[in-house]
Amino acid sequence: MSTTKTSKKKRFKLTNENYYSKEANQRYFSVSQVKDFLKCEAYAMAKINGEWVEEPTTPMLIGSYVDSYFEGTLEEFKSKTPELFKKDGSLKSDYVKAESIIRRVENEELFMNCMSGEKQVIMTGEFLGVQWKIKMDSYIPHQAIVDLKVVQKLRDISYKNGFRQSFIEKWGYDLQLGIYQEIVRQNTGEVLDCIIAAVDKQDYPDIDCILIPNEQLEFQRNQLLFKMQRIIDVKNYNEEPRRCGVCDYCRATKKLEKLILPDDLIVFN
Ligand SMILES: [Zn+2]
C-alpha cells in the first residue's frame, strides 16, 4: 500500500456541524454577518473574532423551535435546550405559543407546500469578489427557495427615510433572499422564486407566504455593491472597525475619555 501525502493545510468543508463555527465565519461571508457590519463594524468584528458571544434570546429560541419542527429535529432540540422548560418540566409559555404556531401552520396547505423542500441546505458561491455561505430553510429544487420567519406581527409597518416598509424590508429579508437566489443560481444555473413563509405570534397567528419580486431582490444585491468594499476591508483587517457607540457591544466595552455636552446625547439616526 502506498502512503499518500496529505496536504498540511487542511481543506475546510462546510457542514451543518461547523456552519456557525468561528472558522466558517472567518472564511465565508454570510448575510447575517453583513447585517452585523451594517449595524456596527466593531460589534461584527468582535463576533467574528469570538470576543463577543450572544446568548440566544427568547424570540430566537421560538424561531429555532419552529425551525426544528420542520427539520424533523424538534425532540432533539428540546432535549438540548433546557431553558425551554419550567422547573416542573412543563414548557414555558413562550414555547407553548410556539406549539400553537406549529398547529396553526400545519393546517395551511400552501404554507406546508412551501416548507416541503429539502431542509437546511448549505451552498457556497462567490459574489462581489468574496466567498459566501448560505443555509436554506426549505429548498425546492427547480422551483423555490423558502425562508421561514416567525415574527412579532406580520402586518406591522415601519418607516425608513419617510417610506413605509414591511417587516421584510425592515429586517433585510429581501437582501437575504437576494443573496440566496444568486448563490443557488451559481450552483444550479437556475433563478428560483424566493418566498418568505411567515407566521406571527399574535394569539390568533397571522400567516402568509410572500413571494419577493425579482426586481426587489436585484435591487438589494445592487445596493450591497456600494457597501461591500468597506465591509471586506474591515473584515480583512485593512481598515479599523468603527464603533456605533450605542449597541450592546459598544456600551459593554465603552471607555470614558472626555466630558460631553447635552447635545451629544441626542443621537441622529
Ligand atoms: Zn456598536
Chain mean pLDDT for the chain: 93
- pLDDT tens column, 118-131: 999 999 999 999 99
**Single pTM value for the model:** 0.91
- What is the structure's pLDDT at 12? 86
| CA–CA gap between residue 128 and residue 34 (Å, rounded) | 12
pLDDT of 46 strictly over 60: yes
Res. 183 pLDDT band, cuts 50 70 90: very high
pLDDT at position 10, please?
65
What would the mean pLDDT of 113-141 be, rounded to a whole number?
97
For residue 180, report the distance from its CA to the centre of ligand 1, in Å: 27
Q: What is the mean pLDDT of residues 20-32?
A: 95
Centroid of ligand 1 to alpha carbon of 42 (angstroms): 6
Question: 45 C-alpha vs ligand 1 centroid, how far in Å?
Answer: 10
Higher-pLDDT residue of 199 and 3 is: 199
What is the CA(249)–ligand 1 centre distance, in A? 6
Q: How would you classify the pairing of strands 144-151 and 193-200?
A: parallel
Beta bridge partners of 121: 136
Domain spans of the chain?
40-107, 109-227
Domain 109-227 has CATH 3.90.320.10: yes
Question: How far does the centroid of ligand 1 lie from the alpha carbon of residue 80, in Å?
Answer: 31
The residue length of the chain stands at 269
Distance CA 135, CA 138 (A): 9
Instruction: Decide if 123 contacts 134 (C-beta within 8 A).
Output: yes
Centre of ligand 1 from the C-alpha of residue 116, in Å: 38
Q: Ligand 1 centroid to 252 CA: how many Å?
A: 9
Distance between CA 183 and CA 260 in Å, rounded? 47
- Is the CB of residue 110 less than 8 Å from the CB of residue 198? no
pLDDT in tens, 220-244: 999 999 999 999 999 999 999 999 9
Whether the per-residue pLDDT at 3 is higher than 80: the answer is: no
Pairing of strands 130-140, 118-127: antiparallel
CA–centroid distance, 243 to ligand 1, in Å, is 5
> Is residue 267 pLDDT above 50, yes or no?
yes
Instruction: Give the separation between CA 72 and CA 70, rounded to whole angstroms.
Output: 5
**Dist. CA 261 → ligand 1 center (Å):** 21
DSSP string covering 114-127:
HTTSEEEEEEEEEE
CA of 234 to the centre of ligand 1 (A): 14
Q: What percent of the chain has pLDDT over 90?
A: 91
